[in-house]
Amino acid sequence: MKNKELSGKKYFELTEEQRISWLRLIRSQNVGPATFRDLISHYGTADSALEAIPDLAKRGGAAARIKVCSREEAERELTRVKLSKSRLIGMGEPDYPENLRNADSGPPLLCVKGNVGILKQKAVAIVGSRNASISGLKVAERFSMQLGEHGYTVVSGLARGIDTAAHAAAIKSSTAAVFAGGVDVVFPPENEKLAEELLANQGAIVSEMPMGWQPRAKDFPRRNRIITGLSRAVIVVEAARKSGSLITARMANDSGRLVMAVPGSPLDPRCEGTNSLIREGATLVTNIDEILETLNPIDDEADALNSDISEKERDLFEHETTEKADLGIAVRDRIIGALGPSPVSVDDIIQFAQATPGEVQMTLLELSLAGKIERHPGGLVSIIYEFSS
C-alpha cells in the first residue's frame, strides 16, 4: 500500500498484490460491499478475511461450503481488464469517483473503461422510461445537452428510451454509462454503436461486475445504486408506476441525493411514476434554469463533503486486526432474535440484544456470508424470510 498527498487530500494506492486480494474477496460468494468493508474492518487485510470466510459462513449456518474466489480466477479477471484497456479502481485510490466514495454502498472495486477523469466531475443522472414518448425523448435530450454546456457529466444506464437520448445528447460534452453486466457487455446490443461513440468522445463505461458478465434482472437495481452514487442529483423524465427509474429515484432519496421529476400528462401511464414522485416531494423541473437553481446549493455542499478521504475508506486499507469478538450462544441468539423481515439499524440491534458493537458485527458477518440476511441502504439489515434461528 502506498500513501500520497494530492491537492491536500490523502489517498491510498493498492499494490498489485492487494488488488488481487481485494478482487478475490469481493468476488467470493455472499460478499457484497457492506460485508467487504466489515471483513476488512474486523480482520485488517483482505488476505486475513479470505482465510476467515469459510469458518464464518459455517457458524452463520451455511448449508454448504462457501465458494472463495481463487487467486487464479482473480488473475484471469485482471488480465481481461487490462486487455480491454479498462481499469479496476479501489475505493480510496486517487481516481475513485468522489461522489461514489461518499455513498453508503459504493463498490470497493470499480471497473472503468474510457475516460476515468470525467467521473471526478460534478454529475447528474437522467433516467426514465424505456418505452419513452417523443416529448419525453426531447426533454431528455435538451436537459442532457444543457447540463453538458454547464459543465456536468450526464450519467445514465445506456438502456433504451430516455437513457439512450440522454447519452446521445451529451456525447460531445461528457457522459458516463453504468452497466449491469461487465464493461465489455453492451445491453441492449442495439446500443453498441452508441457505446463506441461514447468512448471515442472521452466518455466512460462503469461497472462493478466481472468482465464478460451477462446482466440478470436482479443486477439492474445494483446498477442503479451506482448511477445515483456517481451523481449529485437524479432527474426522472418519464416513469411508469412500476419501473426501474422509480427504484433509482428511491435509492437516490435514501442516499441523500436530490430527486427531480418532469411532470407529465395524467392520461399517459408513462408519467404516472414521475407525477407520483412530485406528489411525494420530488422537485418539479421543467427547464434548465430550475435544474441549475436547485443544483447550486447541492454543488457547494458536495464540494465541502469531498474535501478529504473518509474514515470509511481509511478502514479499507491495511491496519491492525481488531480483537475478535468472543460470542456465546446466548449473545448470538439475542442478536438473531433482534432481526426480522423489516430492516433495522445496527444501533437498534445492539440496544435490543444488549450486545457490544463487535459482537453484533461478527454475528452479522456470519449471517451475511451464510446468505441469511439482506443489507439495505442506510446501514439497515433484515433477516431473509425463510431463515429462522
Q: What are the φ/ψ torsions at residue 10 (nearest 5 degrees)?
A: -95, 125
Q: What is the DSSP string of 184-200?
A: T--SSGGGHHHHHHHHH
Q: What is the pTM of this model?
A: 0.88
For residue 201, the model assigns a pLDDT of 97
pLDDT digits (tens, 9 = 90+) for 147-185: 999 999 999 999 999 999 999 999 999 999 999 999 999
Q: What is the DSSP string of 216-237?
A: -TTHHHHHHHHHHHH-SEEEE-
Angle at alpha carbon of residue 232, lines to 229 and 233, rounded to 5°:
100
Which pLDDT band, with edges at 50, 70 and 90, does 243 fall under? confident
CA distance 329 to 143: 57
Is it the case that residue 275 has pLDDT exceeding 90?
yes
Contacts of 55 (CB under 8 A, 6+ apart): none
Crossing angle of helices 329-337/346-353, nearest 10°? 130
Instruction: Name the residue with higher pLDDT: 380 or 180.
Output: 180
Is it the case that residue 226 has pLDDT exceeding 90?
yes
Nearest to 117, CA basis, from 229, 223, 204: 204
For residue 385, the model assigns a pLDDT of 64
Bridge partner list, 284: 261
For residue 305, the model assigns a pLDDT of 52
Instruction: Name the residue with higher pLDDT: 310 or 23.
Output: 23
For residue 323, the model assigns a pLDDT of 46
| CA-to-CA dists, residue 32 to 29, 38, 331, 357, 376, angstroms | 9, 10, 25, 20, 11
Q: What are the φ/ψ torsions at residue 101 (nearest 5 degrees)?
A: -70, -20
Q: Which of 203-217, 261-275, 280-294, 374-388 has the lowest mean pLDDT?
A: 374-388
pLDDT digits (tens, 9 = 90+) for 316-361: 665 555 445 556 778 888 998 889 999 999 999 999 989 888 888 8
Which pLDDT band, with edges at 50, 70 and 90, does 387 fall under? very low
pLDDT digits (tens, 9 = 90+) for 67-109: 999 999 999 999 999 999 999 999 989 999 988 887 777 899 9
Instruction: Name the residue with higher pLDDT: 242 or 67.
Output: 67
| pLDDT over 90 percentage in the chain | 64
